[in-house]
Amino acid sequence: MPRSLFEAYGIELEYMLVDPTTLAVRSVADCFLSQLSANVGAPLSDVTCRDLTWSNELARHVIELKVSEPTADLVGLAERFQNAIVDAQASLQSCGAALLPTAMHPTMKPQDEVQLWPHEGVDVYQQFDAVFDCRSHGWGNVQSVHLNLPFQGDREFAALHAAIRLLLPVLPGLAASSPVADGTESRSASTRLVYYVTHCDVVPCLIGDVIPDPMTTQEEYNHRVFEPIARESQRRNWQDWMKPEFLNARGAIARFDRGSIEIRLMDVQEHPRADVAICAAVIAVLRRLVDQRWRSVSEQNSLDTRSLRLLLDQSILDGEDAIIRWPEYLACFGIEDSAVTMSEFWNRLLADAKSEDHALERLYDPLDVILREGTLSKRIRRSLHASQVDSVSLANRIDWVYRRLAHCLQSGHSFLVP
């Protein structure tokens, strides 16, 4: 059913399946889905439990939890997501597995440990693997949140697309959660995005500059995004197994078949209420941009894509500590300063938005933790150096921190530095 701007939202959360004792990845998504459905035959790719759906992903140790149909009730959705995590425990235990949050497994070696989903859709996954080598962090260890926002017609598409491309670069300043990979601390706040922005490098037209160029109509989008992908698919003889709409890997992708734009640059958090709260924050700011509260759509689209990408790179590296030194960009959000940190940027925008958005206000507690204590990435990093574990090896510190994160997912509580 076609929906107009901000009528309802689709949210998808990705988690890792791990051994409860060692936290090593467990490639048992098919076992888990079979247990959920009490299915003794071929494993299912999707299992619907009331109004939520569990689904497989490319890697067999990753599982997705999503709303089955878009919803306007974000407050209720946050609770339903959390309840689904709790309700899944028996099925997880039957498979010798537990769920682990955050955007990257901290110690896995993807070349050795990633197993592709071997059931429905396996031909597509094998094709991806042949081209991109999916046994890598960029394909097999990048857990995210996808937020789908609806539009009807070119006018709504133009306004929503312009707003989203402006907001994409600052999302890691609110949602970064991956400071550890390969058993060591990364330099970046969102190591997931370090790998994500390069995971399609062998076919650059699939991802472009990650930040999409300004586009105002479906015809223009087809010409500038889908047609180059289609030509590349034909050149590589892919056209029989994948459409351009599914190959598009930009940080936000238009889905004209279902009338939505999907945002892909948010790391998954430590519990679903935090993810939904971040989505509510993004929606609240996008509403104001779409309403042209501070700048028109054409003025928003005048900001250079390459400069937006450079701002994203800053945000990936430094998270909320990145400094926005771009007055024209800040003016698009009603900020008159010549430079602010991303932390201050989000504090200002959300303080204003909360007073006007009842759902955001009710979901605000996890955001308050982020704005006061730092992104989950910063809290993880600080916890790795907490006095309680300062004298033990880094491997043991990582184990201690990520066990606490697994507990946060089960309890629905925010992760705090001890």
Strand 10-18 to 144-150 pairing:
antiparallel
Looking at residue 198, what DSSP letter applies?
Answer: T
pLDDT of the residue at 44: 80
- What is the pTM assigned to this prediction? 0.97
Of 188, 140, 124, which is closest to residue 316 (Cα–Cα)? 188
> Are the CB atoms for 216 and 235 separated by under 8 Å?
no
pLDDT of the residue at 40: 46
What does the pLDDT look like over 200-258, one tens digit per residue? 999 999 999 999 999 999 999 999 999 999 999 989 887 666 789 999 999 999 999 99
CA 320 from chain centre, in angstroms, equals 17
pLDDT of the residue at 42: 55
Q: Assign residue 15 a region: left if phi > 0, alpha if psi is -120 to 50, beta otherwise? A: beta
Query: Which residues of the chain register pLDDT less than 70?
Result: 39-43, 239-241
Rounded distance, CA 415 to CA 418, Å?
Answer: 9
For residue 47, the SS3 value is strand
Number of Cβ within a 10 Å radius of residue 88: 21
